[in-house]
Amino acid sequence: MRADHDPDVRCIVLTGAGRAFCAGLDLQAQMAGPKGGLGNLGGGEATFSGEFDLRTAPPVVLHNLDTPTICALNGGSAGYGLDLALGCDIRIAVDTAKLNPGFAKRGILPESGGTWLLPRMVGYAKAAEIAFTGRTLTAAEALELGLVNHVVGADEFVNRTTALANEIAANAPLAVRAIKRMMRAAETETFEQNVHHVFLQLLPLLRTTDFTEGVRAFMEKRDPEFQGR
CATH number at residue 179: 1.10.12
Same-domain status, 191 and 93: no
Whether 107 is in a domain gets the answer: yes
Provide CB contacts within 8 A for 223, sequence distance 6+: 170, 217
Whether 91 is in a domain gets the answer: yes
Same-domain status, 147 and 48: yes
Q: Which residues of 127-146 are buried (b: 16+ CB within 10 A; e: fewer)?
A: beebbeeeeebebebbbebe
- Do residues 145 and 137 touch, judged by C-beta distance below 8 A? yes
Same-domain status, 155 and 192: no
| Element at 13 (helix H, strand E) | strand 12-15
**CA 112 – CA 87 distance, rounded (Å):** 9
How high is the pLDDT of residue 77?
85
The model carries a pTM of 0.83
Say how many CA atoms lie within 13 Å of 163 toward its Cβ: 8
Closest CA to 171 of 205, 212, 139, 214: 214
Terminal Cα-to-Cα distance of the chain (whole angstroms): 20
- Do residues 181 and 116 touch, judged by C-beta distance below 8 A? no
pLDDT tens digits, the chain, 229 residues: what are they? Answer: 788 888 889 999 998 887 878 876 554 444 455 444 444 333 444 444 455 667 777 788 888 899 999 999 998 888 888 888 999 999 999 999 999 988 888 887 877 888 899 999 999 999 999 999 989 999 999 999 999 999 999 999 999 999 999 999 999 999 999 999 999 999 999 999 999 999 999 999 999 999 999 999 999 999 999 999 9
Same-domain status, 131 and 89: yes
Q: Give residue 207's domain range.
A: 172-219
How high is the pLDDT of residue 105?
81
Q: What is the largest CA-CA distance in the chain?
A: 71
Q: Which residues share a beta bridge with 138? A: 98
